Structure 1
């Protein structure tokens, strides 16, 4: 094996290597099975009483990250290889933008209550006394 083969996602095709359609279908089938297993596990985690209740959101977050990894590798074929540099940078930029939007929304919602004006009834009560 060459070092270049380590930087390829399952299903990526090189110029000198001819792969059949069945191997591509096999890679997508593996990705589909992993995605179905992770989805079924997420449903099981939410509906079972065997797990510690406060740990369920953390378990779901781990399963969601694993699901994203399966989709990125098996369906989008994004790797860290030299030929996929632009794809990795685009993915990282997208993650950065989504993180900024979610974090900004959470900060705005957390500070929203303190910035709101009191209701008119409360204002009238304050003016009477």
Structure 2
């Protein structure tokens, strides 16, 4: 006998406040939970934005490491947006959302990397500028 046949708490999908869940999981049908989630996400977004501006304008981090630190903060900002605003989680009911996000990332990566590849190929096959200038009458 499976656990879903005997345990009604896990079978009916109800969540109680004592169980942990990700910020984007299906919350109770209360407007307060949605407002709280949005405000937490807004707070994290503002904090990460301010941190990136302060980091770029100060000497807190070693100079050549600033671009790496800004990239880390940007990735954290994307994570906050995905979880708190787009509600992308690893829950079983979010499989389509995660697949759509992965497909979008794949398409953008193909377009960007393909464009870089094409531009590099064109640069390698282009005539040097001094020879091009000598060809003009």
| Shorter-chain TM-score above 0.5 | yes
Aligned to 1:87: 97
* 1:65 alignment partner, SS class: helix
Q: TM-score, normalised by structure 2?
A: 0.74
Aligned ranges for residues 25-36 of structure 1 at < 5 Å?
Answer: 25-36=35-46
Identify the structure with the greater helix proportion: 1
| More deviation, 31-40/49-58 | 49-58
Aligned residue number for residue 21 of structure 1: 31
In structure 2, the CA distance between the partners of 1:52 and 1:112, relative to structure 1 (3 Å rule), is farther
Equivalent in the alignment of 1:10: 23
Q: 1:113 to 1:59 in 2, by over 3 A?
A: same
| Deviation sequence 1:42-93 (CA, Å, 0-9, x none) | 1112111232121111111111111110001000111111111110000001
**Shift of the alpha carbon at 1:103?**
1.5
CA-atom RMSD in angstroms = 2.7
Q: What TM-score do the two structures reach when normalised by structure 1?
A: 0.78
Count residues in correspondence. Answer: 121
With CA pairs under 8 Å and 6+ residues apart, which has the higher RCO, 1 or 2?
1
Shift >6 Å, 4+ stretches = 4-7
> Is 1:121 aligned with 2:128?
no
Q: Return 5+ residue gaps in structure 1 as ranges.
A: none
2:105 counterpart of 1:105:
no
Distance in 2, Cα, partners of 1:44 & 1:90: 34
- Corresponding residue for residue 88 of structure 2: 78
In structure 2, runs of 5+ residues without a counterpart are 1-8
CA distance in 1, matches of 2:94, 2:87: 9
Deviation at 1:8, TM superposition (A): 5.0
